[in-house]
């Protein structure tokens, strides 16, 4: 969304879950059993219009036609700018940045169950990782810190764990947490004295930063390999060079030694992902969707082109049928779309559904196991 969330905000409006003026008249059959997915739409900053849509693999209607979160929770909104979400069992955690909260709801029903509010003022929950049943971490890119919480009790265990400047993406192994310190892009470029454009490594047992790994300008997103033996960091380019022929890239690291293994340079947007087996990288830019085999000496391949004036904002791989789900934010200010592509059929678009403003990610679930 042109990275407008990475501008230093002097005044933060703490919206949280608030009343909604128009309630759906009927909430029947919104929670079919079986396999499904949630699509998170971050909304626009200051509009309190983050939303959640639910997809069912067994329902004939497939996707809810309105904000599922509000339909399942009358008088509640998800909040202002929902940047990330993650699930642990039947519980989902949503990082709502401008609200400075993590909203927690039940996967099976969509019902809100609790909230983690980051203490103090000027807090900005950006992304979440869950290590195990009792350990989770939240990045806060206004206070340059992490918050440790218990995913079972929703209690904050430790706050203001110092990392680099403006941490965004976060991943974890059993021993370490890694944060992508973007430095607010151009701000870090103009202030080389701050710790940014790198990755902080935090020891889980001591809650302290033990290493800082070089990455690249405006490093934003991290992905862990399924084996947890290596991980990937995505850096874009500085916003001031957006119109120039400036390259970002993806860096592969050893998750044990923290050493850099490989680096690919290309034009790239914020969000990327791994295939289910971890052998292929999927990433987006203004052209559309690219794939890049992570083993061997390969070049990125454009497999699906985006239309003019579209912005593909997120990419996920469905674990049930191998389809690739694209979050299409269009022009950032209107409702977006969910596009479902089939890599087994020449990456053709098989389905398309309308969703909310700025869709950015998907989580898949099967709550009838």
Q: What is the pLDDT of residues 118-172, one digit of tens each?
A: 999 999 999 999 999 999 999 999 999 999 999 999 999 999 999 999 999 999 9
* pLDDT at res. 31: 62
Do residues 63 and 31 touch, judged by C-beta distance below 8 A?
no
* pLDDT at res. 11: 33
Beta-carbon contacts of 207 under 8 Å, excluding residues fewer than 6 positions away, are: 148, 158, 161
Q: Which of 99, 240, 218 is nearest to 164 (CA)?
A: 218
Beta bridge partners of residue 278, listed in sequence order: none
Backbone angles phi, psi at 258, to 5 degrees: 70, 15
Q: pTM value?
A: 0.90
Give the pLDDT confidence of 43-98 residue by residue, as tens digits: 999 999 999 999 988 875 678 878 999 999 998 999 999 999 999 999 999 999 99
* pLDDT at res. 62: 77
% the chain with pLDDT above 90: 75
Structure tokens at 192: 């080389």
Domains, the chain, in order of start with CATH, read: 4-18+34-291 (2.130.10.10)
**pLDDT band per the 50, 70, 90 thresholds, residue 243:** low
Structure tokens at 48: 């309190």
Beta-carbon contacts of 82 under 8 Å, excluding residues fewer than 6 positions away, are: 40, 41, 42, 43, 50, 51, 52, 94, 95, 96, 97, 103, 360
């Amino acid at each position: 969304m042109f990275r407008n969330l990475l501008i230093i905000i002097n005044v933060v409006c703490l919206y949280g879950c608030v009343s909604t003026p128009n309630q759906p008249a009927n909430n029947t059959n919104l929670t079919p059993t079986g396999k499904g997915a949630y699509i998170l739409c971050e909304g626009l900053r200051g509009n309190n219009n983050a939303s959640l849509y639910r997809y069912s693999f067994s329902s004939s209607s497939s996707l809810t036609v309105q904000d599922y979160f509000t339909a399942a929770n009358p008088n509640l909104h998800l909040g202002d700018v929902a940047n990330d979400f993650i699930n642990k069992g039947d519980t989902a955690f949503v990082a709502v940045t401008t609200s400075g909260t993590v909203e927690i709801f039940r996967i099976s029903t969509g019902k809100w169950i609790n909230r983690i509010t980051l203490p103090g003022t000027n807090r900005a929950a950006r992304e979440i990782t869950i290590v195990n049943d009792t350990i989770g971490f939240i990045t806060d890119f206004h206070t340059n810190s992490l918050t440790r919480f218990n995913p079972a009790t929703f209690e904050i265990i430790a706050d203001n764990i110092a990392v680099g400047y403006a941490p965004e993406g976060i991943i974890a192994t059993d021993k370490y947490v890694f944060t992508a310190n973007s430095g607010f892009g151009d701000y870090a470029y103009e202030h080389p004295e701050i710790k940014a454009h790198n990755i902080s490594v935090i020891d889980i047992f001591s809650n302290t930063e033990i290493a800082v790994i070089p990455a690249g300008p405006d490093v934003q997103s991290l992905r862990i390999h399924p084996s947890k033996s290596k991980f990937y960091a995505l850096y874009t380019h500085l916003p001031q060079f957006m119109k120039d022929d400036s390259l970002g890239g993806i860096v592969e690291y050893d998750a044990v030694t923290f050493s850099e293994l490989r680096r690919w340079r290309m034009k790239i947007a914020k969000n990327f992902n791994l295939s289910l087996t971890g052998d292929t990288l999927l990433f987006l830019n203004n052209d559309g969707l690219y794939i890049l085999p992570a083993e061997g000496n390969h070049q990125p391949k454009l497999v699906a082109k985006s239309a003019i004036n579209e912005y593909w904002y997120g990419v996920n791989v469905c674990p049930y049928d191998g389809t690739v789900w694209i979050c299409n934010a269009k022009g950032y200010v209107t409702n977006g779309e969910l596009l479902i592509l089939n890599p087994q059929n020449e990456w053709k678009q098989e389905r398309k559904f309308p969703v909310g403003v700025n869709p950015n990610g998907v989580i898949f679930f099967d709550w009838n196991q």
